[in-house]
Amino acid sequence: MQMTTFLKRVLLLDAASCLGMGAGLLLGAGLLSDPLGLPGALLSGAGAVLIPIGLFIAFVGTRAAPPAALVWLVIVGNLGWVVESAIVAFGTAGVTPLGTAFVLAQATAVFGITVLEFAGVRRATALAAA
């Protein structure tokens, strides 16, 4: 797949948001746990997972012609994150209203980035076909 400027920017935004959220959750899990009503281990675990994911997305986003399968892996992974976030928001005992809002807000942001990535793939595919 030929990388378009739009797709590259969206992938790099996704990577930066993963790395930023990952670092924030790793460093702030102890402070966030009580107000959010989420276990510190869940927050720090999510942060630890986001760091390599962000690095992978940055790798994909900096390729001139990334394999389409890798871009689709990012999109499907993001959709999985959104589903898991909903499960955490509504299925975790003790989550506070602030915790629900926090989890749903980041899930909404991830979903928005995913929609943009999908649009970027469609645009890159259309350009390649032209």
The confidence band for 27, taking pLDDT boundaries of 50, 70 and 90, is: very high
CA distances from 8 to 51, 71, 105 (A): 19, 10, 24
Q: Can you give the pLDDT at residue 129? A: 86
CA distance 121 to 100: 31
Q: What is the pLDDT of residues 62-102, one digit of tens each?
A: 999 999 999 999 999 999 999 999 999 999 999 999 999 99
- Residue located via tokens 């909404």: 108
**Residue range of the domain that includes 88:** 5-129
Beta-carbon-side half-sphere exposure of residue 63 (alpha carbons within 13 Å): 13
- Please tell me the predicted confidence (pLDDT) of residue 1: 87
Record the tokens describing residue 12, joined without a space: 């790099």
Of residues 1 and 38, more confidence is placed in: 38
Domain tally, the chain: 1
Using CA atoms, how far apart are residues 82 and 60, in angstroms rounded to an integer? 20
**Taking CA 16 as the corner, what is the angle to CA 34 and CA 3, rounded to the nearest 5 degrees?**
150
The 10 Å CB-count burial string (b at 16+, else e) for 86-95 is eebbeebeeb
